[in-house]
Structure 1
Amino acid sequence: MAQTNELNFKGTKTSEKISENIHIFANDPSLAFFRIQEHIRKVLPPILEKRTEVLSLQSSLQGHCYDMEYGVQALKSIEKSDSYFHNIQEMIKTSIFLKQQLKYEENKKRTKRDSIYPTLVL
């Protein structure tokens, strides 16, 4: 009888272990999917937030690149206008010289008028 009880106990234990293993194998994929779903729910909001931030930064960076390209084009056009600036500089020098001549002539006429001895006109 002891052997029968022992055999029954071992048979029951073995069938419980087999049943437990079958239950684990049957539910293991759903547990894996649950863990994946749990991970996605946990990680997805920060990823979406970072994606939105990256898209915003990309848009801002693209705007800055356009501004920089515009600035480079402006500098290149200024370099091309070197001859125009040289002509303007020459015109300013000529204007200053002519202004000085006019001032000199004006001062010369004034000194003649302010003279004690007026010149006789014949």
Structure 2
Amino acid sequence: EPGTELYLKSDLITDKFTESMYILANEPSVALYRLQEHVRRSLPELAQHKADMQSWEEQSQGAIYTVEYACSAIKNMVDSSVYFESIERLLKHAIAVKDQMNSAQGRR
């Protein structure tokens, strides 16, 4: 019968349309499931990397502070050389005065 063929074709088209709609409706949820699966698998490793990076940053900051403190101490030592030279001159002068006093006492 001609009507039966039309009915079978329309049934086939309806089935294909329904299947396409089902795939389109479920595709995003499948993609989200895969994404969630990936995140769940990789998250612990990423969290560990983050913790490691924070630890290294803290260690680096500590090392930078130590180097800056050492540089500051060295600069202060260099700047204080003027005072040490002055002290050295005063000590030499004091020794010279003491020697003069000793020789003056020896002559008496």
Q: Would you say same fold, with TM above 0.5?
A: yes
Q: CA RMSD in A?
A: 2.4
Kindly provide the amino acid, as one letter, of the partner of residue 33 in structure 2. F
The 2-side partners of 1:89 and 1:41 are apart by 72
Aligned to 1:55: 54
Q: Where does residue 18 of structure 1 map in the other structure?
A: 17
Match runs of 1:1-122 below 5 Å: 1=1, 3-87=2-86, 91=91
Structure 1 unaligned spans of 5+: 96-122
Number of equivalenced pairs:
94
Shift of residue 32, structure 1, vs aligned partner: 2.3
State the alpha-carbon separation in 2 of the partners of residues 58 and 44 from structure 1: 21
Q: Percent same amino acid at aligned positions?
A: 32
**Bigger Cα Rg:** 1
Q: TM-score, normalised by structure 1?
A: 0.63
Which amino acid in 2 is paired with 1:79? Answer: V
CA distance in 2, matches of 1:13, 1:41: 41
Could you tell me how far apart the structure 1 residues matched to 2:27 and 2:37 are?
Answer: 15
Q: Unpaired segments of 5 or more residues in structure 2?
A: 96-108
Code of the aligned partner of 2:61: Q
